Amino acid sequence: MKSSVGKQLVLILAVALGVRLLAGWAWQTRLDDRFGFGDSATYWVLGQAVAAGKPYRYGDAKVFRVPGYPILLAPIFLVAGDDASVMWARAQSAAFGTLSVAGVYWLGRRLFDGRVARTAAWIAALYPGAVATSALVLSESPFCPLMLAHLLLWIGAWRAKSPGRTALLAVAGGFVAGAAVLVRPSWLLFVPFAVVVGLVACHSRARQIAVGAAMLSGIAVVMAPWWIRNFRAVGRFVPTTLQVGASLYDGLNPHATGASNMALADAISLDEYRRSERADRAGGVPFEYRLDRRLRAESIAWARAHPGRVLQLAVVKLGRMWNFWPNERAFSRWYVGMPLLLTYTPILLLGMFGAGRTIGWGFPYMLCWLPAVYFSLLHMVFVSSIRYRQPAMLTWIVLAAAALLIQSRHQRGRVEGRPEER
């Protein structure tokens, strides 16, 4: 029986990898440039710098991107050279996407059973949003398996029977969460967010605090080298990057629409740059740090002066993130929109049913829908698009599969019978 289950999982993962490799190749053949997304070029350049042992900077910016994804790209250039084909990176993304499918399987198995796990893995293997994410040269592809590993370790820590094992798994979860933040900084606040929700919604508050504290310590250990490096580079503490101000201004400014338009910050950037030579000569605050703080201050000042528009934008951004049809005109053709509509809609609705069905089953089950809430709140402030919901869709798929298959009261009773999970 175990051999049969193993073969099924291997088949699912093989299909997932094949579909993703095919999607990456098909996407590459349609592009006029190398990547299709501007962010991809920045990761590519930084990956080349890591491989060559050059200073980690993008142009003059020393704290432009967290180093996780460029470090993962670096082996490509060590093997294939600086002129490596982008298909190497797309193949790597396909491999990370396949690991995400494996993570979905294990999440379904840990929370439910083998049937739910296999169903969720098949859905994740073929879901167009997950396939597309795995075909792009963007940080989502390595972030997703790290996010799932973090959640699995959190569940293990929550269910552990001894304090020592709880601490070990929680710290390990913190290590993985720290790695996820170094790939995608938006994950930085998830642990405190989830702990606060858990304190409000769950009975085991002491366990919640203990696991959260151990996890945060693990994150700090992993992030510390990056924090030290940033302090040495710009003379200030920078938890992630100096692009937070630009990202915030992108979402909150007089011309904001909910979509990204980084050109709106150019006038401020140019004005700050004109002051930079004199300030830098005098040994003042580095330009990129000043620009980050100024953009942050400009966006906050505008938001305070226009609270009604901020709320309106938040609703627009929420709609953009969870839209049933692509927001961008370039992707809104019927042959792109219809597969999205026909697959996303049932997963969304079934996931809602699954979340409602398991709402009283304990904190581990909440971890399937908390990423969706967290990313929604985050991108109601920053800019939003369908792209930003894709990591959360992987855990949502587990709830959707559970909604399809869990029907017996016996199984519900078996799960709810664990008081340590509540």
CA within 13 Å, CB half, 275: 14
SS3 state at 267: helix
- Domain assignment present for residue 153? The answer is yes
- Domain assignment present for residue 294? The answer is no
Q: In terms of pLDDT, which residue wins out, 205 or 318?
A: 318
Section 227-233 average pLDDT: 97
Section 248-277 average pLDDT: 85
Residue 121 pLDDT: 98
CA 263 from chain centre, in angstroms, equals 24
pLDDT tens readout for residues 31-72: 866 788 889 999 999 999 999 999 999 999 999 999 999 999
- Under the banding of pLDDT at 50, 70 and 90, the label for residue 420 is very low
- Under the banding of pLDDT at 50, 70 and 90, the label for residue 30 is confident
pLDDT tens readout for residues 184-201: 999 999 999 999 999 998
Around Cβ 414, how many Cβ atoms within 10 Å? 11
- Domain assignment present for residue 312? The answer is yes
Does residue 421 have a pLDDT over 70? Answer: no
Residue-averaged pLDDT of the chain: 91
Does residue 21 have a pLDDT over 90? Answer: yes
∠250-67-62 over CA atoms, to 5°?
65
CA within 13 Å, CB half, 59: 6
Does residue 413 have a pLDDT over 80? Answer: no
305, 306, 307, 287: which is closest to 295 by C-alpha?
287
- Domain assignment present for residue 54? The answer is no
- Where do runs of H (alpha helix) occur along 127-203? 128-133, 140-159, 163-183, 190-201
Q: Which domain holds residue 392?
A: 2-32+85-183+189-239+306-421
- Domain assignment present for residue 270? The answer is no
Residue 143 pLDDT: 98
Residue 35 pLDDT: 85
CB-CB contact of 141 with 385 (8 Å)? no
- Domain assignment present for residue 298? The answer is no
Section 293-320 average pLDDT: 97
- Under the banding of pLDDT at 50, 70 and 90, the label for residue 418 is very low
Instruction: Find residue 61's DSSP bridge partners.
Output: 58
- Under the banding of pLDDT at 50, 70 and 90, the label for residue 1 is low
Residue 328 pLDDT: 81
Instruction: Find residue 58's DSSP bridge partners.
Output: 61
Does residue 284 have a pLDDT over 80? Answer: no
Residue 276 pLDDT: 67
**Count of residues for the chain?**
422
Q: In terms of pLDDT, which residue wins out, 362 or 2?
A: 362
- Domain assignment present for residue 68? The answer is no
Distance CA 16, CA 402 (A): 20
- Domain assignment present for residue 287? The answer is no
Instruction: Report the amino acid identity of residue 333.
Output: R
Residue 304 pLDDT: 97
The token duo for 421 is 């999970």
Q: In terms of pLDDT, which residue wins out, 3 or 130?
A: 130
Residue 203 pLDDT: 80
- Where do runs of H (alpha helix) occur along 202-286? 205-234, 244-251, 266-281
Distance CA 31, CA 118 (A): 35
Section 377-385 average pLDDT: 97
How far, CA to CA in Å, does 230 sit from each of 125, 177, 188, 238, 272? 38, 19, 16, 6, 21
* Number of domains within the chain: 1
CB-CB contact of 112 with 376 (8 Å)? no
Distance CA 44, CA 28 (A): 15
Q: In terms of pLDDT, which residue wins out, 89 or 6?
A: 89
- Under the banding of pLDDT at 50, 70 and 90, the label for residue 2 is low
